[in-house]
Structures are given as C-alpha cells and as structure tokens.
Structure 1
C-alpha cells in the first residue's frame, strides 16, 4: 500500500504517492519555484525537494529542460534523479504572458532558484527588488559562473570553467599530463549545494526577521571553498600545489595500490595506523625504520614506501588485502563502481540506494536523499515529471486558485 505525502498548503496529486514509510520531510510546507536548467539550479531544487519542499519546475513549453535528454543508454536516466519530487509547469519566460504567470507563482513561493547569466531575470522584469516588493519574505538563490557582482559577472560560465578558476582542475590528474576533470559535474553540484545551504540559513533568518534575501552562489567560489590550504600555502609559504595523480604529497602511505585482481585504497599515514599496516604486511620492522618511523619521514620517502606497500598488495587479491586491513584496523577500501555499489551489503543496510517506481522505466535504482535526518527524513515522494508542463493546471489551481 502506497502512502500519500501530506502538505499544509494543499493536497498533492495522485502522482505524489510515495513508498511506504515516506514522510513529508523537514521542509514540508515550503514552496520553491525552480527557474533554472541543466545542473546547478536543478540540483539545488533536487536537494530542497528531497527534504520535503514542494518544488515547481518551470520548463520551456517545447523543448523542456535539456537534462531530459542527458545521460547514457537508450532512455536517459539522469533526469529521473535531478527532477524527482518536482512538478513541471510549462512557461515561456521570454514572453510577457509566461513572465506574468511565473511572477504570480513566485509571489506565493518561499524560495526562487535561478541559474541564468546575471542580468537575465532583470530583463524579464524579475529583479530581486521587484520580486521582493511583491513577496518580502522571498529567498532568491542565484547560481552563476562568477557571481552577481565583479568584472566577470556577465560572462557565460559552466561548471568546468568554475572548477578551473576555483583551483580544482590545476591539481587533478597526472603531473605530466593536462589537467583532468573529476568525472562528474562537481563545480555545478558544489555551487548548488552551497546555494541550498544558503537558502536554509536564509529561512532561519526569515523566521526571526520576516524578511527574505538573495543567496549569491558562484561556481568558482563554491569550488574555492573546498580547496583546503591551497591559497594560504602559496600566500604564506610560497608553495604551489600541482597535479600529483592518485597520491597526496607528503601523506604516506595513502594511495591506491594494485592487487592481483584490482585496485585498493589504503590510508595509513598516522604513526599508530602505519604500525598496524606493517603488522598486516608481515613487515613490523618498517614501523621503527628511521625512514618511515614518523609522519615527516614517511612523506620524504613517499615513493619508496608506496613501492613497498604495492609489492605486498600485488601478491594478494583485493579480498585478501581487505581482510587483512579489517583485522588490523587500517582505514582502507575498495574502489567502487556502480555495479559494486548495487551488490554491497553496506549500501543496502543504510538504504543509500533506493528504488523509485518510474512511470516510464518501471523500478529504477538511484542514490537516496542525503543527509539522513532522524525525525524528518528526506524521501522521494514522486517520480520525475514524464512530460513537459504536465502539472501546470494543478499548480495554477492550487497555488493561484486559477
């Protein structure tokens, strides 16, 4: 028996049925208008929707969001993740009629998400000043390449550009090759996550003041936030980080090591942990060897130490190495791909991957909402919209009484 997700502001349609045990979520009653496309804006909307917000996605009437067509396979599945828990409303934002309809929805919303080039919504008569004059409590999340201010603000910007400017690309990859990308759109998702974080903080501030505000999340600054000591290391010590492949310079042993049947990641750079690794390898004398006895010494002899560890792992299977690491309490782990994740008992026990009953694809496995909240857990209450604008009439009736 499927359960209906409840809402303080109205009853959801039949398509909002969720799996047994689904809850309304921590953001129940919060209304969101998502006016972006592709990754950064929609991922912010996904996060808020997973936490219980009612997210209305504005899509161009003819082509819809390009994410509907992104991904691998005969039927792209990425859309099923990034558009879950959302309603699709068709509106041409370049037309006077479409702009007027969306403004009426925004007037009833708690949060607006947009990830157009700065200045775009202003051209449509939707400047923050205009929107907040009609809805003083409105929180506007603006995700862009370079932010809403500064000399680069009007430039076109995508996630990869933000990763490059924020410092990520310069340190990712092998030292003798061109900078690499991570393999996922990390710049977009970081900016979206910080945008979501800002929206949650702004909701708390609004609870005290009654006033909304603008959350300005730039792609390059979101990347910059996770660059650890990169800036002060250069500013203070004159040290410039470079690409180092799979190892972190001076932190040893902490690398991916070859086994007979695959790769295995071991992190044993702390003194006590390194001692336990030496025991597991049958080389206890290495723990007191002057070349490896301290963190600094191991960092200086990183390459030769990595070679010693790999000489051991290469003689064993991944399972044998993992058993030894678990027995001796050494932080380590397999390098997972999607097939591994779906077969792993820990993923299953924590329900890190869930199955959503997609109307077109049937049971579809995807990552679960995260983080986990004990009292108001996030859930997938409805699948991604099948068609462009399928919920327009319902949303207009419920939000605007039209």
Structure 2
C-alpha cells in the first residue's frame, strides 16, 4: 500500500486530520482523493462516530467507508501529554493540519497554529467550524443543519405552504468540507511562492451563504425575500419534473427561449414557441403553473423511453430522476467510471462515487476504503521513527483518557 498517491496532484503532501463526523473529514477525503497522504488521528477510546453512522453492513459503516477512503488511521488521545507530543512530531513532518473542533479546543490542546509553526514553519492549519474562529457566535457548537438554517438554505427548501425541509444529505457539512479543501489548496499555493503558512477558516454558515446566489442583494436592493417554491424556481419555466405514461419521472429544462422553441416543436406545437404567452422567458415565468400543466399532460401520453429519445433528438436537456440503482446501470456513468469499485477486506468490492473533478494528466483515485481503527499505527510510527531517529513506539499514547477527542 503506497501513501503518496503516485503521480497524483497532491503526491508528497502530508495532511493530519483531527476531528470527526463530516465537515472536516470530507475536506480530508477530497485531499486524499487527489493523492495527499492523509493521516487521520482518532481517539482510541471513542473513535470517530462516523464508524457507527448510516447503514451498517457486516459491522462496518458504509458512510465511514466513503468519507475515510484513502486515509491512514492512527490512534492518539489528544487529552494526554503523550498524544499531543505524538501529534506535534507528526506535524513536524506535515504540510497541513485539518481540524473541526469547536474554536478554542486546539489552543487548549497546545496545538494552536503558533505551536504547530514552532515545529513546522510554513504549516497550514485548516479550521472548520459552525460559525468561524471569531465573532459573538464562534463559541457555539455548530452542526451542519444549523449552518444550513442560518446560511439561508433551509428557508428555501420545501413547499411554500409547509415548514422548511432539508436535503437527504448533510449538504452544509459537505459544502464546508469543499470550501475547506479549496482554501487548503490556495494556502499551499501561497506557501509555494512565499514559504509562509497560514490559517484557513471555513465556517458552515458562510459556506452555505456562499451558495445562495443573489439572495441578500435582492432583499437589500429590491426588497424581495426569496422563499420556498417547491420543485421550481419562480419565473424559470419550463424546468420541472413531469410524469410519463409508464409512471417515470423526467426532469425537462427548457427555460431558455431557443430551447423552448425546440421543445414546442417536439410537442407538435411550434405555435407555442412564438406566441405572446410563451415566447419569452419573462412571459413563461408569468404563466409557469399553466405551462407545467400543459407539458405534464403531453408527457403523460408517452413512455419514458419514447420521450427521452424524442427530446434528445430535439436537443432538449432532459434526464430521469435517478436513484442509486439507475446510476449503477447507466451507460454514461459506466463510460466515465463515475462509480468505482473499491476492494474491502470485510465487504468485498464496494461501489462508490469516483473522484471529481477529472484531471487529464494527473487524475485522482480512490486507493482504499475506510480503514479499521488504528490500522496504520505501526506503519506511521515506523515512518516517524525512521525520519526522526526516535523509537517507533515513543510517545504514542495507546489511550488512557476517559473522554473522546471531540469538543
């Protein structure tokens, strides 16, 4: 098993991942996908709760298998002197530390940025939290759901006559992990030029806020408050899910004027494309509901396969509303290896999403699935000893604390 990702973009970059659950570890997953040697530190007494989350098969969490893929797992109790010293020795040979504790926790551990820089000048500390490292809310515990609410996303999801809903994934955490990974890469780029490290401060509420387009500007300038609109965006039509005669759901997006004219031709109603009622984006937006009813009635006269072929012939953006079984059999997914099989000693070959984005010269890869607790202890200790000249078992705490490493 190699740890440097061969010729991947982040080959040779070592990342220490501290923390647990999703936001910080998803940042680590993305960096590992592109070849970084991500060494995940877990409390030996409690481990990362993700090991017990989601669907469990043969005693192993499939969620853990994905979010910990490509990482090496080592045990250390940060609440002990031995554990902290071990992490500092690893930090001395690392480029990045990723953590998602509550602000102030790293400082209490003696692992503040200045502590890390003393052993590794130029090191980057990527900090993931609910509300950022400063401000009146910084001390609050910050789950992804809270950041989604305060960042403006929850208010927009669901039907207008019902309370706010949520997505079926932890989107706030995942967005923050992506922003943290982006910030880490930017900081590495700066260090390449200047030799200086820095702190990357990624908060959940701001990561969600960044995805809300012109929501704030619309209110501040025009007095417009966006709200829940169900399956559509108000004024953007047609772009909705329509049901075929065999009960399949197709999303048809033809809101651009030229595309709508092609849809009108496909429907056998070329008059719609040039009509005063439907010929422009603005007018279609005014008649969104009636246009959706018209298209749904037409779609209901065709099977999904017939309609997909017809719309493809007319260059209309269309796609079935997929579930996992559809993705596993779709020829486009197969052609691009969008889903890869990762061998696992317990589960066998496990399909999961591949690496995105795709690089033509130096692509990333999924090297292995989520490891067992402490699986790489001996390997990492031996490397540390060989580089520092200390005994392989020196200073590594096997776990004597009575609490986990979360804050």
Specify the TM-score bucket, using the shorter chain as the normaliser.
over 0.9
| Residue of structure 2 aligned with 1:82, choices 32, 46, 67 | 67
CA distance in 1, matches of 2:86, 2:196: 23
Alpha-carbon contact 1:6-1:24 (below 8 Å) kept? no
Q: In the alignment, which residue of structure 2 is the partner of 1:321? A: 307
CA distance in 2, matches of 1:93, 1:316: 62
Q: In the alignment, which residue of structure 1 is the partner of 2:211? A: 226
Q: In the alignment, which residue of structure 1 is the partner of 2:249? A: 263
Task: Give the TM-score taking structure 2 as reference length.
Answer: 0.92
The offset of 1:5, in angstroms, is: 4.1
| Residue of structure 2 aligned with 1:92, choices 77, 95, 108 | 77
User: Are positions 1:216 and 2:201 aligned together?
Assistant: yes
| Residue of structure 2 aligned with 1:274, choices 244, 260, 264 | 260
Query: Secondary structure of 2:57's match?
Result: coil
User: Are positions 1:139 and 2:129 aligned together?
Assistant: no
- Aligned pairs for 1:86-235 within 5 A: 86-235=71-220
Alpha-carbon contact 1:5-1:24 (below 8 Å) kept? no
CA distance in 2, matches of 1:40, 1:385: 19
CA distance in 1, matches of 2:244, 2:202: 42
Query: Secondary structure of 1:211's match?
Result: coil
| Residue of structure 1 aligned with 2:276, choices 279, 290, 294 | 290
CA distance in 1, matches of 2:326, 2:164: 28
Alpha-carbon contact 2:65-2:369 (below 8 Å) kept? yes
User: Are positions 1:36 and 2:12 aligned together?
Assistant: no
The offset of 1:73, in angstroms, is: 4.4
Q: In the alignment, which residue of structure 2 is the partner of 1:300? A: 286
CA distance in 2, matches of 1:6, 1:397: 14
| Residue of structure 2 aligned with 1:53, choices 11, 18, 36 | 36
Query: Secondary structure of 1:339's match?
Result: helix
The RMSD of aligned alpha carbons is 1.2
Q: In the alignment, which residue of structure 2 is the partner of 1:373? A: 359
The offset of 1:6, in angstroms, is: 6.8
Alpha-carbon contact 1:43-1:82 (below 8 Å) kept? yes
What runs of 5+ residues in structure 1 fail to find an aligned partner?
A: 8-21
CA distance in 2, matches of 1:232, 1:41: 30
The structure-2 alpha-carbon separation of the partners of 1:382 and 1:399, relative to structure 1 and needing over 3 Å to count, comes to farther
The offset of 1:62, in angstroms, is: 2.2
Measured against aligned partners, the alpha-carbon deviations of 1:25-46 in whole angstroms (never above 9, x if no partner) come to 1100000000010001111000
What runs of 5+ residues in structure 2 fail to find an aligned partner?
A: 387-391, 393-407
User: Are positions 1:351 and 2:351 aligned together?
Assistant: no
Query: Secondary structure of 2:352's match?
Result: strand
CA distance in 2, matches of 1:119, 1:6: 31
Question: Which ranges of 4 or more aligned residues in structure 1 deviate by more than 2 Å?
Answer: 4-7, 73-76, 399-402
Query: Secondary structure of 1:363's match?
Result: strand
Query: Secondary structure of 1:29's match?
Result: coil
The offset of 1:95, in angstroms, is: 1.4
CA distance in 2, matches of 1:257, 1:25: 42
CA distance in 2, matches of 1:272, 1:374: 33
Task: Give the TM-score taking structure 1 as reference length.
Answer: 0.93
Alpha-carbon contact 2:3-2:37 (below 8 Å) kept? no
The offset of 1:382, in angstroms, is: 2.7
Query: Secondary structure of 2:334's match?
Result: helix
CA distance in 2, matches of 1:143, 1:224: 15
How many corresponding residue pairs? 384
CA distance in 2, matches of 1:130, 1:317: 64
The structure-2 alpha-carbon separation of the partners of 1:70 and 1:24, relative to structure 1 and needing over 3 Å to count, comes to farther
Q: In the alignment, which residue of structure 2 is the partner of 1:13? A: none
Alpha-carbon contact 1:50-1:369 (below 8 Å) kept? yes
100-109 or 214-223: bigger deviation:
100-109
- Aligned pairs for 1:239-250 within 5 A: 239-250=224-235
264-273 or 68-77: bigger deviation:
68-77
Query: Secondary structure of 1:97's match?
Result: helix
CA distance in 2, matches of 1:259, 1:148: 51
Query: Secondary structure of 2:250's match?
Result: strand
The offset of 1:134, in angstroms, is: 2.1
Q: In the alignment, which residue of structure 2 is the partner of 1:63? A: 46
The offset of 1:63, in angstroms, is: 2.4
